[in-house]
């Protein structure tokens, strides 16, 4: 591949990265958007409906994804890993590895014939591994690009897909390829993971079948979810009672995660409201320390959930175990009465918090919380410790979609000012930007 020159390089194609790229592209800058997954969309595209408006998540995300894909100034690089970032004048040389898809994306039409043909069924991380797809597949129905990708971990190399493909897009000869992009500025939009609970023995360390993470519940509530309805993953039962354990992995010294993850109160309330619609007979209880519904319209959202009959119980969940039928049993210290009670549920959701995505690719100073450090939040909230590199979305700490989108536009403003002031494009070209 040829070496390329871009005004900005955005790392991470979640909602934050997409918005930054769109804002820069709209201003006429040339932007590379590099995503490590085979599709852009990030966490948001996996969600069901989004608070506080409760609008369908894909109705908001897919148009952005499509706008990114068709934007004349945005150059999309999916299924790529950043290998190194080197200063080059005021800008950077970014070395990027294109992982082999074993599919020629210039030919693939996303028809999924190969996927139907592939004999082996594998867990789909898009469905938090509770759903499945095949070793070769289009990652999910609204993926951008809508192209197949082959997973060498599970592939039998039987060649059936190649025979089936109507446009001869399967290419077994693909190799990893490295290329370099010279970029005047970089925006980090690498997003988040859920706080791991494998070390949280009191909560079953992730081993109890009917104690799930909140992204799983998002998939159950989504129309494209693995079961097409809400079932507990242990045995396919429609749950009649569901509990949420707030601050599971946030504000928790024992896990070394002392900060508030900011979105868990709201997503728990949202899911409780959606469950109320999906399973009108189900009892839903939220165990919490503080309810932090601080955003615009969020307090009313909380009050609506209360009015709907969601039980909010102030209490600290000390431990979770399960009975013989794999029903989780919570042991709760009730704040308002001081009692310790035990309560059995069909399904428990751990409202896990937000930690930085596990792939730090660019060496940048980090805060004590592990997120990319922002040295001067009260004067420059998107500026990192390395000149020319900006940060947005949950890469800069927990935040919801609204805050991520605002922060993404802010990062774009910072980056574009930096490019104008330091960028290496010829003066004439810069003038032409606004011609």
Ligand X SMILES: Cc1cc2nc3c(=O)[nH]c(=O)nc-3n(C[C@H](O)[C@H](O)[C@H](O)COP(=O)(O)OP(=O)(O)OC[C@H]3O[C@@H](n4cnc5c(N)ncnc54)[C@H](O)[C@@H]3O)c2cc1C
User: Taking CB under 8 A as the criterion, which residues in 31-50 touch another protein?
Assistant: 50
Q: Is 139 in the site for another protein (CB under 8 A)?
A: no
Sign of CA dihedral 325, 317, 353, 263: positive
Q: Using CB under 8 A, which of the segments 1-9, 80-88, 190-198, 408-416 binds another protein?
A: 408-416
The residue within the footprint of another protein, chosen from 84, 276, 335, 424 (CB under 8 A), is: 335
For ligand X, the closer of residues 12 and 204 by Cβ is 12
Q: Is 297 left (phi over 0), alpha (psi -120 to 50) or beta?
A: left
DSSP string, 222-239: STTSSSSS---TTT-PPP
- Using CB under 8 A as the binding rule, whether residue 304 contacts another protein is answered as no
Each as own residue / partner, the long-range contacts of residues 385-388 (CB below 8 Å, 24 or more positions apart, any chain) are 386/362, 387/90, 387/418, 388/90, 388/91, 388/92, 388/184, 388/185, 388/186, 388/418, 388/422
Would you call 268 helix, strand, or coil by DSSP? Answer: helix
Assess 218 for contact with another protein (CB under 8 A). no
How far apart, in Å, are the Cα atoms of 383 and each of 323, 327, 335, 372, 411? 50, 47, 41, 10, 8
Interaction partner, residue 361 (ligand X, another protein, none; CB < 5-8 Å by kind): ligand X
Sequence-distant (6+) residues with CB within 8 A of 141 are 224
Residues in binding contact with another protein, number by CB under 8 A: 114
Residue (of 328, 288, 344) closest to 203 by Cα position:
328
Q: Which residue lies nearer to another protein by CB, 83 or 337?
A: 337
By CB under 8 A, what part of segment 174-203 binds another protein?
none
Shortest Å distance, C-beta 63 to ligand X: 16
| Residue 112 binding: pick among ligand X, another protein, none (C-beta 5-8 Å cut-off by kind) | another protein
176 binds, among another protein, ligand X, none (CB under 5 to 8 A by kind): none
Query: What are phi and psi for residue 345, nearest 5 degrees?
Result: -130, 165
Q: Measured from the CB of residue 22, what is the shortest distance to another protein in angstroms?
A: 9
Q: Which of the choices ligand X, another protein, none does residue 380 contact, using the CB cut-off of 5 to 8 A by kind?
A: another protein
Stretch of residues binding another protein (CB under 8 A), selected from 75-83, 198-206, 223-231, 355-363:
223-231
Residue selected from 45, 135, 136, 347 as contacting another protein according to rule CB under 8 A:
135
Judge contact between 259 and 250, C-beta under 8 A: yes
For the record, the structure tokens of 312 come out as: 């909010």
What is the CB-side half-sphere exposure of residue 35 using CA atoms within 13 A?
A: 26
Residue with Cβ nearer ligand X (35 or 322): 35
User: What is the closest distance, in whole angstroms, from the C-beta atom of residue 433 to ligand X in the complex?
Assistant: 26
Q: How far is the CB of 406 from another protein (least distance, A)?
A: 5
382/407 Cα distance (integer angstroms): 7
Q: Which does 218 bind (CB under 5 to 8 A by kind): another protein, ligand X, none?
A: ligand X
Assess 312 for contact with another protein (CB under 8 A).
no
Q: Which of residues 75-104 bind another protein (CB under 8 A)?
A: none
Q: Which of 1, 55, 87, 309 contacts another protein by CB under 8 A?
A: 55
Candidates 125, 228, 256, 309: give the one binding another protein (CB under 8 A).
228
Q: Which does 116 bind (CB under 5 to 8 A by kind): another protein, ligand X, none?
A: another protein
Chain positions 366 to 405 lying near another protein, rule: CB under 8 A, are 367, 369, 371, 374, 376-382, 396-398, 401-403, 405
235 binds, options ligand X, another protein, none, Cβ within 5 to 8 A by partner type: another protein
**Least CB distance to another protein at residue 71 (A):** 10
Cis, peptide link before residue 145, omega less than 30° from 0: yes
Residue corresponding to tokens 């000390």: 318
Alpha-carbon distance 377 to 394, whole Å? 15
Q: Are 244 and 351 in contact (CB under 8 A)?
A: yes
Counting contacts by CB under 8 A, is residue 338 touching another protein? yes
Smallest distance from ligand X to CB 37, Å: 4
- CA nearest to 422, candidates 373, 388, 374, 386: 388
DSSP conformation letters of 293-326: --STTHHHHHHHHHHHT-EEEEEEEEEEEE-TT-
Record the tokens describing residue 234, joined without a space.
């242990």
Binding site for ligand X (CB under 6 A): 11-17, 34-37, 42-44, 47, 50-51, 82, 189-192, 214-215, 218, 263, 267, 270, 357, 359, 361, 378, 393-394, 399-402, 404
Other CB atoms within 10 Å distance of the CB of residue 291: 19
């Amino acid at each position: 591949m040829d070496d390329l020159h871009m005004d900005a390089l955005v790392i991470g194609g979640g909602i934050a990265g997409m918005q930054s790229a769109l804002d820069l592209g709209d201003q006429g800058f040339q932007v590379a958007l590099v995503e490590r997954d085979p599709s852009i969309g990030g966490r948001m595209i996996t969600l069901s409906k989004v608070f506080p408006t409760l609008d369908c998540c894909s109705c908001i995300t897919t148009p952005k994804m499509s706008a990114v894909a068709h934007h004349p100034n945005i150059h999309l690089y999916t299924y790529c890993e950043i290998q190194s970032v080197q200063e080059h004048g005021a800008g950077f040389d970014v070395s990027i590895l294109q992982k082999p898809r074993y599919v020629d994306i210039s030919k693939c039409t996303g028809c999924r014939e190969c996927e139907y043909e592939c004999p082996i069924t594998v867990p789909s991380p898009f469905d938090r591994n509770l759903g499945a797809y095949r070793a070769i597949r289009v990652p999910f129905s609204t993926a951008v690009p809508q192209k197949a990708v082959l997973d060498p971990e599970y592939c039998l190399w039987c060649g059936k897909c190649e025979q089936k493909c109507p446009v001869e897009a399967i290419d077994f000869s693909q190799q990893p390829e490295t290329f370099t992009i010279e970029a005047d500025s970089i925006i980090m939009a690498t997003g988040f993971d859920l706080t791991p609970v494998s070390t949280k023995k009191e909560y079953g360390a992730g081993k109890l079948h009917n104690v799930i993470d909140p992204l799983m519940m998002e998939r159950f509530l989504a129309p494209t979810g693995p079961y097409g309805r809400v079932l507990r993953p242990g045995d396919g039962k429609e749950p009649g009672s569901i509990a949420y354990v707030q601050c599971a992995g946030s504000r928790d010294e024992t896990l070394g995660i002392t900060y508030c993850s900011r979105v868990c109160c709201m997503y728990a309330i949202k899911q409780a409201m959606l469950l109320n619609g999906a399973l009108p007979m189900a009892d839903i209880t939220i165990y919490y320390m503080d309810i932090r519904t601080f955003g615009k319209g969020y307090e009313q959202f909380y009050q609506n959930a209360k009015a709907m009959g969601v039980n909010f119980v102030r209490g600290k969940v000390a431990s979770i175990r399960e009975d013989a039928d794999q029903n989780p049993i919570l042991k709760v210290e009730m704040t308002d009465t001081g009692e310790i009670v035990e309560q059995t549920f069909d399904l428990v959701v751990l409202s896990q918090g937000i930690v930085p995505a596990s792939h730090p690719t660019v060496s940048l100073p980090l805060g004590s919380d592990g997120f990319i450090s922002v040295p001067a939040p009260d004067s420059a909230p998107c500026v990192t410790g390395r000149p020319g590199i900006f940060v947005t979305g949950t890469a800069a700490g927990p935040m919801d979609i609204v805050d991520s989108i605002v922060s993404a536009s802010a990062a774009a403003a910072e980056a574009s000012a930096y490019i104008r002031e330091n960028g290496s494009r010829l003066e004439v070209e810069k003038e032409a930007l606004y011609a």
